[in-house]
Amino acid sequence: MRTIVSGKRSLLIPFLIIIIALTVLTALPLSARQSKSAKPAASAQTASARNAQAASPGAKSDPSQVGSWTAPVNLGVITIHAALLHTGKILAWWYPQGTNVNSPAKLYDTVTGKTKDVTVPFPGDFFCSGHTILADGRVLVTGGLLGNPHPGVPDDGITATAIFDPGSETWSQGTPMNLARWYPTDVELPSGQTLTLTGKNEHAVIDLPMEQYDPATEVWTLLPSSANIPQQSSDTYLKMKLLTNGKVFMAGSNADTYTFDPATNRWTLTATMNFGNRYHGAAVILPGLTKVFTAGGTANHAGGGATATAEVIDLAAPAPQWSFVSPMHIPRYNSNLVILADGTLLEVGGAQTERYGTPVLIPELYDPSTDTWTEMMTQTDSRPYHSTALLLPDGTVWSAGSDDPTKKIAGHSYEIFSPPYLSKGARPTITSAPSAITYNQKFTVTTPDAASVTKVALVRPGSTTHDNDFDQRYVVLDVRHGTGKLSVTAPPSANYAPPGWYMLVLVNSSGVPSVMPFLQLM
């Protein structure tokens, strides 16, 4: 079970071993360290070998090919959890330093770069919680770690929930769930209600009955037993993706992947992943909203043995099957998979040999239209387990966190990645766009660049932790070109895009995205 414990309890001895090992390792020159830690891999080089290669003189550094990174900046918290708010600020939080105290949290303004302390004003450890952004833009945080567990008893979940209001920038206590949960998954349904799955309860049981939250009534309702997850899951933070038929697809970690129908409260076995159980992998629903893509992970729940493999399933096919696609260059797990402003994917962070072991510093860009991975510029601070990444409104990517006990200082930092598309020419600009739209509504976007725009999309702001983004989604919209304006049609229904705030993006024929203003889809 993934427990934080290294910072808290039962992993004290391994923690000391790691400290000693790292003390020895860091005494070596960098080059020696990299060559000593490099080891052979069948299909892909190890991260350390790749890191050394990218750092060598003559390595590619053209930002239009490999992007670029800002230097790390200390945020003051370890961003284990992060959500992008429609105010253009990131909410970041992690675990309290002690028991029965408050969870530290920060707001980071993605425009000004300023930060503000928004520590949760009531006790509760909202660490390894689930979280999703509600239709009105508030952040719902579900569960966490019981602050004062009994010695000798497994770590416990909590029933508590917390809600962050981006307008007032304050927290309030939410209605407690029916069941205690640590490491739950939240997914917003087309109704605007939140479905919550798994998580460890106070007896360390994972496969808990599901429950659903109605923001209108603030009531949690347990689903009937027919909705129970059909297969013993050996992992938490299930990868749940809303499909355009209103059903929700589970893309791991178990090899057998199922579809849940909220209308009947029943699960159906859909297909089996070729890799087998893919623990700590990352998954997204691709733009187009019929294919789900997963990359990285490990066959070992306890960690080690990272894979570079990736698979895709087309859920619109008559008999959907998982198929291997091109593998990454670098095996990794506990990494972050971010949908970028142009609809390509960035795999960033992760590790290879254990939660924090052999961290991968080289992100990779995946283009689903060509099935190709490209290695990007090396980042400075390592982002293995408990790291996060988010697409920002200006098209850059925030990469932060990891409570690697050997690198606590680095864990407090964030870095910002500019993808290659920001070095490929002028960006299309949006002169005006509505701040709110309804389903199927035709609306006008004025832009002097209308003629060169090839794609218009809504991008759901991310809400992420533990290689899992509960919210991100890229919804391509129908568009008609006018002179100095675009006539755009909103998504046909909430199955395509559940109600909430989205970023509006224009992408031009060079693949360059606009800055993305927020609008509310109701």
Q: What is the DSSP string of 318-333?
A: SS--EEEEPPPSS--B
Which residue's beta carbon is nearest to the bound Cu ion? 128
Tell me whether residue 304 or residue 425 sits nearer to Cu ion (CB atom): 304
Q: What is the 3-state secondary structure (H, E, C) of 35-75?
A: HHHCCCCCCCCCHHHHHHHHHCCCCCCCHHHHCEECCCEEC
CA 177 to each of CA 87, 97, 160: distance values in angstroms, whole numbers, following the listed order? 28, 25, 6
Closest approach of Cβ 356 to Cu ion, in Å? 12
Query: b/e string for 411-430 if b means 16 or more Cβ within 10 A?
Result: bbbbbbbbbbbbeeeebbeb
The whole-angstrom separation of Cα 356 and Cα 2 is: 12
Closest approach of Cβ 163 to Cu ion, in Å? 21
Tell me whether residue 126 or residue 501 sits nearer to Cu ion (CB atom): 126
Closest approach of Cβ 2 to Cu ion, in Å? 5
DSSP-derived 3-state class of residue 171: strand
Tell me whether residue 162 or residue 490 sits nearer to Cu ion (CB atom): 162
The whole-angstrom separation of Cα 408 and Cα 22 is: 13
Tell me whether residue 1 or residue 522 sits nearer to Cu ion (CB atom): 1
**Short-list 273, 285, 271, 277, CA closest to 240:** 285
Tell me whether residue 270 or residue 387 sits nearer to Cu ion (CB atom): 387
Cβ atoms 179, 201 nearer than 8 A: yes
Closest approach of Cβ 204 to Cu ion, in Å? 14
Closest approach of Cβ 466 to Cu ion, in Å? 6
DSSP-derived 3-state class of residue 225: helix
Closest approach of Cβ 80 to Cu ion, in Å? 7
Tell me whether residue 90 or residue 128 sits nearer to Cu ion (CB atom): 128
Q: What is the DSSP string of 289-308?
A: SSEEEEE--BS-TT---B--
Tell me whether residue 80 or residue 140 sits nearer to Cu ion (CB atom): 80
What is the widest separation between alpha-carbon atoms in the chain? Answer: 70
Closest approach of Cβ 4 to Cu ion, in Å? 6
Tell me whether residue 128 or residue 422 sits nearer to Cu ion (CB atom): 128
Closest approach of Cβ 386 to Cu ion, in Å? 6
Tell me whether residue 3 or residue 257 sits nearer to Cu ion (CB atom): 3
Closest approach of Cβ 423 to Cu ion, in Å? 35
Strands 436-437 and 518-521: parallel
- Cα-Cα-Cα-Cα dihedral sign, residues 9, 12, 14, 19: positive
The whole-angstrom separation of Cα 10 and Cα 7 is: 9
Q: Residue 51 — φ and ψ, nearest 5°?
A: -60, -40
**Short-list 253, 339, 290, CA closest to 495:** 290
Closest approach of Cβ 128 to Cu ion, in Å? 4
The whole-angstrom separation of Cα 371 and Cα 324 is: 11
Whole-angstrom Cα Rg for the chain: 22
CA 66 to each of CA 300, 424, 485, 511: distance values in angstroms, whole numbers, following the listed order? 32, 12, 32, 15
Tell me whether residue 196 or residue 447 sits nearer to Cu ion (CB atom): 196
Tell me whether residue 9 or residue 116 sits nearer to Cu ion (CB atom): 9
Closest approach of Cβ 484 to Cu ion, in Å? 49
Q: Residue 53 — φ and ψ, nearest 5°?
A: -65, -45
Tell me whether residue 6 or residue 418 sits nearer to Cu ion (CB atom): 6
Closest approach of Cβ 10 to Cu ion, in Å? 14
Residues found near Cu ion in the complex (CB under 5 A): 128
